[in-house]
Structure 1
Amino acid sequence: MKAKSIHYLHMYTRLAVCVIMFVSIHAHAQTDTSQYGKGLTRNMIEGGKYQGFLFTDVKGIRLQFNGYVQVDFIHDFMEMTNIHAFQPSTIPVPSSAEGNTAFSIRQSRFAFTAYGAPDARGRALKAVLEFDLWGSLSGAPRLRHAYIQHGKWTFGQYWSNFMDGDNWPNIMDYWGPNAYVWTRQVQLRFTQQLSSSMTFSVSAEQPGGDLSIPDTWSNRTIYPDVTAAFQKDFGDKNESHVRLAGLLHPMDYKNGDKEKKTSIGGAFNLSGNINVQKDNDIKFQFAYGSGYAKYSEDISGEGYDAYGGVNDKSVKNISMLATWLYYDHFWTKSLGSTIGWGYLQLNTPQFSMPAVGTIKSTNYGSFNTTYYFTNYFKIAGEVLYGIRKDTDNKTGDNLRGQFSAFFKF
């Protein structure tokens, strides 16, 4: 009995020593380079530009852990299907005065980043696994990013090369401007630094069309999407940039006669972030094309890439204009505000799509004020307003108030 007690004592002692060594030796506090609260902006967060905690460094691989907890308290004054994010396409038409209150932690996320030793040619190696709690109403983990970077190459699921991942307005709402070209894609990307201030990137991204077709038709996935983008940085410390991206989006399907067909969608996306003064940023996007609703923040997955009727032999691409403009301003080191508007329009009235329930346009506007207690903790109040118009010209709208608390680690 005495030997058994000694065995357990030794086991618990080793466990305690391991925990102490893990915390005291391998855990290094993150560093933060924020100025005037800019280390906690949405742009810094989505771009992964803040460090986390390095908790192991073994055999040439450094493993880092980071993330944040965000709690949202939301009240809608009108009915909206998406109660956790402000998505204008989910506003009922006509409006209903049935409001709703929602408390949510679903924006919270965590990520693991592994840095490998450079290869024989000095090319850096990095891998990322990132999750949020958007998997269910109760907050189940959901995969966001899973990719590898080796030198100039990126393999895996990451922001599409067609979107601008470096011009996020400083908002608290998860969805963001309705017109945002915003999606994650499994892809193969090549990035070339043309100069100290200019970058070129090209990618092949996961195939698949977002089509409205009869039940007798079927989707196919054959040809990948292809994107290319140029970005020009300028200004003090290259804080400003302008980016032009292009997209070719093949949509493969079988029609009612079982004929295999492909329709090619295409679009351009002009975007940027202009630092006009130390504490002022103008962020914008202007995208136009046809057959690219798959890349839309507001209407992706709703079948607005292209439309095919029962008597048609092929689909017709749906044109879309997607534009937004936002202004970020810091009043003091600890206080900032963001205001802006987004507009999305589809050419659906030109097709024989149902007049009731088919979107013609959506609008999204928001204003917030954020207070930064430290470089890691902030709170914000945000007011949002959205409008949905269908092809029968009937509209619905919603006004939302949101209060959020945010802590990064």
Structure 2
Amino acid sequence: MKKLILAAACAAVTGTSFAETSTTEQRINVLEAELQRLKQEVSAQKNTNIQLVQQQQQLNTELKSASQKNTGSWTDNVDVYGILRLDGAVDFKDTTAARGRTSNQINKVPFDAAQGKRSDFTIAASRIGMDIKNLAGREDVKAKLEADFWVDNGKGDGKLRIRHAYVSFDDWLFGQTWSLMSNMETMTESIDYTQFLGVSTTRVPQVRRDFNFNAANKLQLALEYASDRSSELPALTAKYIYKNQAVLLMGQGFINEKRAEVNNRDIDKVSWGVGLGARYKFTPKQSVQANYYHVKGNQKFVSYTTQGSSSDGAAMGGDYSVDLNNNSLLLNEFDSLTLGYSHKFNDQWRGNIATSLMKFEDDSAYAKATANVTNNKQLTDHAINLIYTPRPYVDLGVEYHLGERESFEGKTADISRVNLSAQYKF
């Protein structure tokens, strides 16, 4: 019966396509072969369609995954942070010429300031920054960009100031960040935004190379911008750090050319300096810190060293004076020592005590120059602070300073002030 039906169908479909001499059996065989071919083609087409659908689904999945990965990598690789900070100060004795900004500026306290209490507050120390990692898909390529509003000694009024801006990779760093003469690793925590006398927080444009010998020993070398185009070459700086669980030791140094133009010719002289830092932790809650500097002919690297320009041609504010008679530079020279003790009472309360001395060479040609007699001979500062953390990321601090400024000619000015701060870190 099946064969008869196939035969009839074959006759209806093929018409005259078969020869008259073909038998019914032959026609049935041809039709079965054609039917099998059609089935195979339909099956192949069906498989092709299934493959296309699967490929489209896989492509859609990959595109969605790539989109999620790109979005995730951006959020994962960029950490945004910052500080919202209110700083204040109350002066009880002499005050700065700017009438008591929130930073100490003990080196600029006028000798003839009017007596009386004065206060000042600012939010200019607030900052915003971001850390970026895995640049171009490489784990060793990182970058940082950070800014605050500390312009004109805290009178920022919305003006941004770049603090850090650099890219680092393969132990190289290009951009602006802490100078190798800074002592962030061994300084004592301060409420005063500009830190204690004798502390260095200088940030300069630089090219730096790190040598990490092992987990405990590291050497850093850098070429740093150190003056306003007064030198032929940037300053060469170096820092060596040794660190274990309880002890951190640090040695620093720099060498730089100082240059002045006198009578249409340049006068050159070499400035240099060394620094030592140490921190020892008695327990996780108690530590002592010490920092020492000896610097000749440069005020860029250490805070509170600015002397002010002199009438005999000094343009660097205390780096040097110009001896017009001999066409030579008279370099200023100083030593500074800062000692500190830190104690964490519990998770909410901690405190610090610091004492600092900065002594300028008083028998040098610079000190004996007539134009420099009003410049600093010695600065002292003694401070104690208490910091309260009522909630995570919130710090409230108070700090008292008692200090004195003395000039080469023997004039003195006193500091008695309270620094205040409230900050939220995110």
TM-score (structure 2 length as normaliser): 0.75
Query: What amino acid maps onto 2:381 in structure 1?
Result: Y
- The 5 A counterparts of 1:62-141 are 62-78=77-93, 79-81=95-97, 83-117=101-135, 124-136=140-152, 137=155, 138-141=157-160
Structure 1 residues 57 and 262: alpha-carbon distance in aligned structure 2, compared to 1, 3 A threshold: farther
Q: Is the 8 A contact 1:271 1:284 kept in 2?
A: yes
Q: Is the 8 A contact 2:199 2:338 kept in 1?
A: yes
Shift of 1:202: 0.4
Q: Which of 375, 397, 400 lines up with 1:380 in the alignment?
A: 397
Q: Is the 8 A contact 1:266 1:290 kept in 2?
A: yes
Asked if residue 270 in structure 1 is aligned to residue 276 in structure 2, the reply is yes
> Quick one: distance in 1 between partners of 2:294 and 2:237?
14
> Quick one: distance in 2 between partners of 1:322 and 1:385?
17
> Quick one: distance in 2 between partners of 1:182 and 1:278?
25
SS at match of 1:294: coil
Asked if residue 245 in structure 1 is aligned to residue 263 in structure 2, the reply is no
Shift of 1:190: 0.3
> Quick one: distance in 2 between partners of 1:381 and 1:165?
21
Structure 1 residues 310 and 99: alpha-carbon distance in aligned structure 2, compared to 1, 3 A threshold: farther
Shift of 1:108: 1.0
Q: Is the 8 A contact 1:155 1:189 kept in 2?
A: yes
Structure 1 residues 372 and 59: alpha-carbon distance in aligned structure 2, compared to 1, 3 A threshold: closer
Which runs of structure 1 show a deviation greater than 6 angstroms over 4 or more consecutive aligned residues?
none
Q: Is the 8 A contact 2:184 2:200 kept in 1?
A: no
| Alignment-derived partner of residue 24 in structure 2 | none
Q: Would you say how many aligned residue pairs link Structure 1 and Structure 2?
A: 341
> Quick one: distance in 1 between partners of 2:370 and 2:356?
25
| Alignment-derived partner of residue 340 in structure 1 | 354
- Larger Rg, first or second structure (1 or 2): 2
| Alignment-derived partner of residue 48 in structure 1 | none
| Alignment-derived partner of residue 42 in structure 1 | none
> Quick one: distance in 2 between partners of 1:300 and 1:393?
18
Structure 1 residues 56 and 115: alpha-carbon distance in aligned structure 2, compared to 1, 3 A threshold: farther
Q: Is the 8 A contact 1:284 1:326 kept in 2?
A: yes
Structure 1 residues 166 and 360: alpha-carbon distance in aligned structure 2, compared to 1, 3 A threshold: same
Structure 1 residues 176 and 207: alpha-carbon distance in aligned structure 2, compared to 1, 3 A threshold: closer
Query: Identity rate of aligned residues, in percent?
Result: 20
SS at match of 2:300: helix
Shift of 1:59: 6.5
Q: Is the 8 A contact 1:83 1:100 kept in 2?
A: no
Shift of 1:325: 0.8
Q: State the Cα deviation string for residues 258-286 of structure 1 (Å, max 9, x = none).
A: 22232111111000221121211111111
| Alignment-derived partner of residue 7 in structure 1 | none
Q: State the Cα deviation string for residues 154-213 of structure 1 (Å, max 9, x = none).
A: 11111101222212311110111221233111000000111220001100011427xxxx
Superposition CA RMSD, Å: 2.3
Shift of 1:348: 4.7
Higher RCO structure (Cα 8 Å, ≥6 apart): 1
TM-score (structure 1 length as normaliser): 0.78
- The 5 A counterparts of 1:1-400 are 57-58=72-73, 62-78=77-93, 79-81=95-97, 83-117=101-135, 124-136=140-152, 137=155, 138-208=157-227, 220-235=230-245, 240-256=247-263, 258-300=264-306, 302=308, 303-350=317-364, 351=366, 352-354=369-371, 356-400=373-417
Q: Is the 8 A contact 2:88 2:102 kept in 1?
A: no
Query: What amino acid maps onto 2:120 in structure 1?
Result: A
* Structure 2 spans left out of the alignment, 5+ residues: 1-67, 309-316
Q: Is the 8 A contact 1:376 1:408 kept in 2?
A: yes
SS at match of 1:295: coil
Shift of 1:397: 0.8
| Alignment-derived partner of residue 6 in structure 1 | none
Q: Of Structure 1 and Structure 2, which has the larger fraction of its residues in helix?
A: 2
Shift of 1:141: 1.8
Q: Is the 8 A contact 1:123 1:151 kept in 2?
A: no
Q: Is the 8 A contact 1:355 1:392 kept in 2?
A: no
Q: Is the 8 A contact 1:57 1:63 kept in 2?
A: no
Shift of 1:386: 2.2
Structure 1 residues 70 and 387: alpha-carbon distance in aligned structure 2, compared to 1, 3 A threshold: same
Structure 1 residues 142 and 66: alpha-carbon distance in aligned structure 2, compared to 1, 3 A threshold: same
Shift of 1:94: 4.0
Q: Is the 8 A contact 1:118 1:124 kept in 2?
A: no
> Quick one: distance in 2 between partners of 1:59 and 1:399?
49
Shift of 1:135: 2.1
Deviates more, 1:354-363 or 1:196-205: 354-363
Q: Of Structure 1 and Structure 2, which has the larger fraction of its residues in strand?
A: 1
Shift of 1:133: 1.5
Q: State the Cα deviation string for residues 110-162 of structure 1 (Å, max 9, x = none).
A: 1122212476xx66111111111212522422111111111201111111012
> Quick one: distance in 1 between partners of 2:372 and 2:262?
23
SS at match of 2:324: coil
* Structure 1 spans left out of the alignment, 5+ residues: 1-25, 27-54, 210-218
